[in-house]
Amino acid sequence: MIKGNWFFIVKKGIILTNAFTHISSAEYQAVRLCEEFSRMNIQVCHKKNREYPCVIDGGNIVNEYSQYDFCVYLDKDKYIAQILEKSGLRLFNTSSSIAVCDDKMLTHIALSENGIPMPKTVPGALCYHPDGVIEDSMPERLISILDLPMIVKESYGSMGKGIYLVKTKNELIKSMEKLKCMPHIFQEFVKESSGKDVRIIVIGGKYLCAMERKNENDYRSNIELGALGRAIQPSDEYIALAEKCAKILKLDYCGIDILQGKNGGMICEVNSNAFFGGMEKATGVNVAKAYAEYIIENI
Ligand X SMILES: Nc1ncnc2c1ncn2[C@@H]1O[C@H](COP(=O)(O)OP(=O)(O)O)[C@@H](O)[C@H]1O
Chain residues in the site for ligand X (CB under 6 A)? 119, 151, 153, 157-160, 163, 187-190, 193, 197, 219-222, 257, 259, 268-269
105 binds, among ligand X, Mg ion, none (CB under 5 to 8 A by kind): none
Listed in sequence order, the residues at least 6 apart from 293 whose beta carbon sits closer than 8 Å to its beta carbon are 36, 40
204 binds, among Mg ion, ligand X, none (CB under 5 to 8 A by kind): none
| Of residues 193 and 272, the one with the C-beta less far from ligand X | 193
Closest-by-Cβ residue to Mg ion is 269
Q: How far is the CB of 193 from ligand X (least distance, A)?
A: 5
187 binds, among Mg ion, ligand X, none (CB under 5 to 8 A by kind): ligand X
DSSP, res 137 = H
SS3 83: helix
276 binds, among ligand X, Mg ion, none (CB under 5 to 8 A by kind): none
| Of residues 82 and 260, the one with the C-beta less far from ligand X | 260
Q: How far is the CB of 24 from Mg ion (least distance, A)?
A: 18
Distance from C-alpha of 13 to C-alpha of 65, rounded to nearest angstrom: 10
Q: DSSP 3-state helix, strand, coil percentages of the chain (rounded to 5)? A: 35, 30, 40
Q: How far is the CB of 88 from ligand X (least distance, A)?
A: 31
Burial of 74 (0-12, 13-18, 19+ CB in 10 A): buried
Burial of 35 (0-12, 13-18, 19+ CB in 10 A): middle
Outline where the chain has alpha helix (H): 24-39, 78-86, 95-102, 104-111, 137-146, 169-179, 236-248, 277-283, 287-297
Work out which of 75, 188, 269, 280 binds Mg ion, going by CB under 5 A. 269
205 binds, among ligand X, Mg ion, none (CB under 5 to 8 A by kind): none
Binding-site ranges for Mg ion (CB under 5 A): 257, 269
